[in-house]
Structure 1
Amino acid sequence: MTDVAIEYCVPCGFLDRAESIQHALLTALGEDLDSVALVTGEKGVFRVHVDGDTIYDKDEDGDYDVDELAAMVRSRV
C-alpha cells in the first residue's frame, strides 16, 4: 500500500488546494492508499510526496493539475 503526504503553506492559504488533491486521490485511489495526509508548512511550500519521494513541488513544477497528480500517484501504487 501507499502513503501520500500533501505538504502545504498555512499562511499562504493553500489548504483548499491541498484538500482538493486529497479528495481527488481518495475518490480515485482510496482503496489502494494507506493514507493521504495533510501536512502543515510555511514559506510558500506546496509539495506532494508518495512514500517519502517528492512527486510535485510548486517551486520546481509551477502550476498543478489535480488529474495529472492523481495519474502520477496511480503510477506509484
Structure 2
Amino acid sequence: MTTVEIEYCVPCGFLSRAEDVQHALLTSFGEELDAVTLETGDRGVFIVRADGDVVFDKQQDEYDVDEIVRSVRERL
C-alpha cells in the first residue's frame, strides 16, 4: 500500500490545491492507499510524495491534478 504526502505553503494559500489533489487521489484510488496526508509548509512549497519519492514539485512541474494522479498511479 502507498502513502501520499502533500506538502503545501500555508501563507501562499495552497490549501485548496492540496485538498483538490487529496480528493482526486482518494476518489481515484480509495482503498489502494494507506493514507493521503496534508503537511503544512512555507516558502512557496507544493510537493507531492508517494512513499517518500517526489512525484510532483511546483518548482519543476506545471500544476495539473490529472498529471499528479497519473504519477501516483505509476507508484501503485
- Quickly name the TM-score band, shorter chain normalised: over 0.9
| CA distance in structure 2 between the aligned counterparts of 1:19 and 1:44, rounded to whole angstroms | 16
Shift of 1:31: 1.0
Q: How far did residue 68 of structure 1 move?
A: 1.0
- Give the length in aligned residue pairs: 76
Structure 1: runs of 5 or more not aligned: none
Aligned partner of residue 76 in structure 1, secondary structure: coil
TM-score by length of 1: 0.96
Structure 2: distance between partners of 1:71 and 1:59 = 19
Partner of 2:40: 40
Q: State the percentage of identical aligned residues.
A: 63
Q: Where do 5+ consecutive residues of structure 2 fail to align?
A: none
Matched, 1:7 2:7: yes
Higher helix share: 1
Counterpart of 1:39, as a letter, is E
The CA RMSD over aligned residues, in Å, is: 0.6
Moved over 2 A (4+): none
In structure 2, the residue matched to 1:69 is 68
Using the size of structure 2 for normalisation, the TM-score is: 0.97
For 2:57 and 2:66, the matched residues in 1 are separated by 16
- Where 2:56 maps in the other structure, the secondary structure is strand
State the partner residue of 1:16. 16
